[in-house]
Structure 1
Amino acid sequence: MLVSVVMAVFNGENYLKESIDSVLQQTYRNFELIIVNDGSTDQTRYILSQINDNRVQVIHLESNVGSANALNKGISTAKGDWIAIQDADDRSLPTRLEEQVKYVFDHPNIVAVGALKACISGRLEIPKEKLKREEHGNFLVDPEHMRLNRFYINPLCHGSVMFSKAVFQRIGGYDPTYQICYDYDLWMRMFEEGPLHKLPKVLYEYRIHDDSISKGNDGVINEDWIVVGKHIKSIVSENNKGLVPKFAVLGNDHACREFKRTAEVCHINVAQYIVQVSENTKQKIFQDYLAGNIDAVILLEGVQFLTLFQTLFQTLFQTLQRKGMEWNKDLFKIWAGYLYS
């Protein structure tokens, strides 16, 4: 099986050769490597000109169009039926392609397969405990577990994934309106096409830079929540026969303030924000649900909330489930812990 490995790079001179070498040294040999130079202004073009391997195809874009557009361009030229993504500053371990190809043959019904990641430092050394924290997505391995928790966090490390080109094309490829989370949006749409799996071993090394661990602190709306918000809204709207759904959002004060910005971007109608929970809250929410005042509930969860406060929220969700509300239909949970990292 021919695998098309696709990489988009913009000003990636620091780790580009290392990343390319990790692909060229794969134990699986039947692949092509398509590299899209997304208008780089550093030494990227020169580094690419030094490659002497007939498996490598380089596409130079004269201006920067963004990673989603660049990847769409590269995949459009791919000859393989399966696409393996490789980020330009990360490393694939030597058996990655071999093990993923075998997995695809053994599981012909899947649309994508990822792998666990190990986080490594960029120029500045990142403390080990922070690197481990960035590996949080590794806890999602079981396919059904990934699907159930797809709104909670991004279940797959982008560069670790191999996916069906046919499915990718059928659902429209990457959405270039996202600057960062185009991969998360893609997985959300792929979940509607078939199973996404993950090999339960580390096959990919994901590089963490010192400025990439301060999410949510720079005033920029988090794209994870934009992706999740749009897909949750779509699901509830469909269940609500196309009517604009109304939500109750639960979380601490900080998380709710952040979600208000997401709601504005996604045009999510939040009927109420709940930052305190009492015994009466459970009954009131369910009564509002039965009366049509709300159509779904979203819980914003983070490790900082694992106190009596959070326990009350969890108990509330369990009560609502016992009363007939359903997970990922009218009950949703989103990870908010990044706000305080």
Structure 2
Amino acid sequence: MTKISVIMPVFNEERYIRKAIESVLSQSLTDFELIIVNDGSTDSTLDIINSFNDDRIILINQQNQGPGASRNNALKIAGGDYVMFLDGDDFYLRDTLKTAYGEISSKDCDISIFQIIKYDGDGYSENSWFNLDNFPEEFETRVFNPHDCRDFLFDISVSAAQKIFRRDFLENINAKFPEGIYFEDMPFFFYTFLKAKRVSIIKRHLYVRRKHEGSITESVDSKFLDTVPAGQILMDIFIENGWYDIYLFDLLAFKINGPRYALMGIEEKYKESLYLLIKKDYESIKLSSYYNDYLENLGPVKRKFFKDILKSDDYQEFKTLNQTNSSPAK
């Protein structure tokens, strides 16, 4: 059986995909399959993919379905013992597969997490989140249970590309990415991570994330409307799996903060639309049995945001309320 299935969903990545593919094909570990999902690209992405002649490449050519569906479609045919994800504008270092495979296989883990380094075209940069600095030093040399991370669970990077997964583990828990939305990594991470029994971390940079204007994390545009449905899916996962009461305080803060930060940073033309999505979500919460949990467990800034959304009828009214009655950040 193949050791690793590398899954690469791509949409209009003609500027970067050649480097991404080459970074996989040149790996020091050679026993892999590269499943590329061309998600309805309209530029020269498909031509670039077809220019490679390597029988380890498996191509899925589909109409545009989004990143979640693309990854799910690849998972259906993945034949490797382990699964990794690579975005079409990023790339691996030469020993990425060898190092990740050696870690997860030797320690018999369900998931191993490694470091990411950013590249802007001129040089490399690090940050604490992608460097896994939130993990105490003792975690670096041992296998641990995800619930050992209770105190910092919501400070762990959710990126699927930062991890290697045991494939039969993903199959056994029926792991799937949410489809039809962006930020699909987030619910997928929390579900798979908290379902895992054995996890390890690798304090080495194995993945290079390219920083550019078109990347989802660099521009707060209409994609950030999906912070609302992604948060709703997350809540359902925690409730359905009996994790809600365990993580209630940090979970509710995390749920509020995603759309809250998005509303502050999103382009002006999308603010009303995002406000309305948040308001609809909060109105459904107000009618649910969880409403008092929000009022009793949110810090003052997040509680005020929550209540001001409910009080207001449109974004401008909310903006006035939220500005004139500001509270200290907590």
What's the TM-score, normalizing by structure 2? 0.67
Shift of 1:205: 0.3
The 2-side partners of 1:96 and 1:82 are apart by: 13
Give distance in 2, aligned partners of 1:267 and 1:198. Answer: 40
Residues 121, 208 of structure 1: 8 Å contact kept: yes
Q: What's 2:168 paired with?
A: 166
- Structure 1 distance, partners of 2:11, 2:102, is 32
Tell me what 1:65 maps to.
65
Aligned-partner residue type, residue 40 of structure 2: G
Q: What is the one-letter code of the residue matched to 2:120?
A: S
| Alignment map for 1:129-140 (pairs within 5 Å) | 132=126, 138-140=132-134
- As a proportion of its length, which structure holds more helix? 2
* Residue 76 of structure 1 pairs with residue 92 of structure 2: no
Task: Name the residue aligned to 1:152.
Answer: 154
Check the 8 A contact 2:71/2:177 in 1, yes or no.
Answer: no
Q: Is the 8 A contact 2:212 2:218 kept in 1?
A: no
Please report how far the alpha carbon of residue 41 of structure 1 lies from its aligned counterpart in structure 2 after TM superposition.
Answer: 1.4
Change (3 A) 1:149 1:209: farther
1:309 corresponding residue in structure 2 = 328
Displacement, 1:96?
0.9
SS at match of 1:210: coil
Distance 1:229 1:192 in 2: 17
Q: 2-side partners of 1:269 and 1:297: how far apart?
A: 14
Q: In the alignment, what sits opposite 2:285?
A: 269
Q: 1:102 — aligned with what?
A: 102
* Equivalent AA in structure 2 for residue 94 of structure 1: R
Using the aligned pairs only, state the percent identity.
21
Pick closer, same or farther for the CA change 1:236–1:105 going to 2, 3 Å: closer
* 2:104 aligned with 1:85: no
> In structure 1, how many angstroms separate the alpha carbons of the residues matched to 2:103 and 2:53?
30
Counterparts in 2 of 1:266 and 1:134: CA distance versus 1, 3 Å: farther
Higher strand share: 1
Q: Secondary structure at the match of 1:27?
A: coil
Structure 1 residue runs without a partner (length 5+): 272-288, 302-307, 314-341
* Mapping 1:163-312, distance limit 5 Å: 163-177=165-179, 179-194=181-196, 195-211=198-214, 212-213=216-217, 217-218=220-221, 221=224, 223=226, 226-228=229-231, 230-232=233-235, 235=238, 255=260, 258=263, 261-262=277-278, 264-265=280-281, 269=285, 293-294=292-293, 297-299=297-299, 309-310=328-329
Partner of 2:24: 23
Distance change >3 Å, CA 234–CA 256, structure 1 → 2:
same
* CA–CA separation in structure 2 for the residues paired with 1:160 and 1:241: 25
Take 2:153 and 2:226, find their aligned partners in 1: how far apart are those partners? 13
- Do the aligned partners of residues 132 and 232 (structure 1) sit closer, same or farther apart at CA in structure 2, a change above 3 Å counting? same
Q: 1:264 to 1:4 in 2, by over 3 A?
A: same
- On the 8 A contact 2:90/2:208 being kept in 1, the answer is yes
- What secondary structure sits across from 1:105 in the alignment? helix
Alpha-carbon spacing, 1:256–1:78, altered in 2? closer, same or farther (3 Å): closer
Pairs aligned (count) = 275
The answer to whether the 8 A contact 2:26-2:94 is kept is: yes
State the 1:210 CA deviation.
Answer: 2.5
Match of 1:334 in 2: none
State the AA in 1 paired with 2:81.
Answer: D
Q: Matched residue of 1:181: which SS?
A: coil
**Structure 1's 90 and 248: CA in aligned 2 closer, same or farther, altered over 3 A?**
closer
Match for 1:119: what amino acid?
A: K
Q: Which residue number corresponds to residue 115 of structure 1?
A: 114
The unaligned stretches of length 5 or more in structure 2 are 264-273, 303-326
Quickly say closer, same or farther: Cα 1:56–1:192, change in 2 above 3 A.
same
Aligned ranges 1:6-17 → 2 under 5 Å: 6-17=7-18
Counterpart secondary structure, 1:70:
helix
